[in-house]
Amino acid sequence: MTTAPCACLSVKFDHAPHDAPAAAHDMLCEEIAELAKTFDFFPLAAHEAGHAVAAAIIGRPAKYVTISLSGPHTMYSDVPGDTRVLASIFCTVAGKVGDAVATSSGWFPSWPLLASYIERARAGEGVGHCDCCQDARLLVESFQHMDDQALVENWREMFRLAFDVFYDDDVRGALLSVASALIDKTILHQDEIAQICDRYSLPTFKEIIPCNAS
| Domain parsing of the chain, residue ranges | 10-39, 42-208
Mean of pLDDT values over 127-133 = 83
* DSSP-assigned letter for residue 56: H
Q: How far is CA 211 from CA 117, 148, 166, 203, in A?
A: 27, 25, 20, 13
Q: What is the pLDDT of residue 199?
A: 97
Four-way CATH pick for 42-208: 1.20.58.760, 3.30.70.360, 1.10.1750.10, 1.10.10.10: 1.20.58.760
Mean pLDDT to the nearest integer, 69-96: 81
pLDDT at 39: 53
Would the pLDDT of 148 be above 70?
yes
- How large is the average pLDDT for residues 71-99? 83
pLDDT at 31 over 70: no
Least Cα distance to 49 among 106, 105, 102, 109 occurs for 102
Rounded percentage of the chain residues whose pLDDT exceeds 70: 75
Instruction: Tell me the C-alpha distance between 40 and 70, whole Å.
Output: 16
Q: What is the pLDDT of residue 2?
A: 36
Q: Where are the alpha helices (DSSP H) in the chain?
A: 20-38, 42-57, 84-103, 111-123, 131-142, 148-166, 169-185, 190-197, 205-208
CB 159 within 8 A of CB 165: no
Instruction: Judge whether residue 29 has pLDDT over 70.
Output: no
